[in-house]
Structure 1
Amino acid sequence: MLRTNVPTYVSLIDVTDREVQNTQELASIWGEIRTEFEQHEAELVDSYAILGQHDFLVIFDADDHESAFKSALTLRRHGLAGETMEIVDTDDFSHLVDEI
């Protein structure tokens, strides 16, 4: 569940730097990542395996940009290269557009 009034981020992940022996090995790191995110004042909201250009989609909340940056580095440290972006709910976005 997304926390209210906390920025939400998404990372598009590529498993390029990690030699994965099997899917169980890859699945086992999510618990470690969740714990490390909590140490950075962030919460791993959800993760998905995806087809296409990227391998995983990771959604997380972070208290601030510094926490988000540390969380993105956590993913990288685990061999999960990706692009991390802040996202805004479309309802919130429409309110921003209405105010302009």
Structure 2
Amino acid sequence: MPKYASLMTLADRDVQNAQELASIWGELETELDQHEATLEDSYAILGEYDFLVIFEADDREAGFKSALAMRRHGLEGQTMPIIDVENISQLVDEI
């Protein structure tokens, strides 16, 4: 199953407290499940972006829908497909 990483910032969502911020992840996990995707990990990060979200999706369409779902929850950013470093050697061998 393809994996994706999203670098996100809190954009349109006005978060008043830590509990409200935590609720975003529960809502997001539920919605990703509806789009044939699974939330793997999420991290708060320092710098240009606020969060790193890693998820798996059944296919590219499910990945796209999942990225749009994050926007609906007030998260803006960039989503890109990723692969494990261990798989890079296999890709190189195939070229």
TM-score by length of 1: 0.91
1:52 aligns with 2:47: yes
Query: Residue in 1 aligned with 2:94?
Result: 99
Structure 1 residues 32-66: Cα deviation after superposition (integer angstroms, max 9, x where no partner)? 11011011000001100011111000000000011
Runs ≥4 residues deviating over 3 A: none
Aligned pairs (5 A) from 1:33-48: 33-48=28-43
Report the Cα offset of residue 94 of structure 1: 1.9
Structure 2: tracts of 5 or more residues without a match = none
The share of aligned pairs that are identical, in percent, is 66
TM-score by length of 2: 0.95
Aligned CA-pair RMSD: 0.8
Distance 1:50 1:98 in 2: 34
Count of residue pairs brought into register by the alignment: 95
Structure 1: tracts of 5 or more residues without a match = 1-5
Structure 1 residues 2-44: Cα deviation after superposition (integer angstroms, max 9, x where no partner)? xxxx000010001122111112211111111101101100000
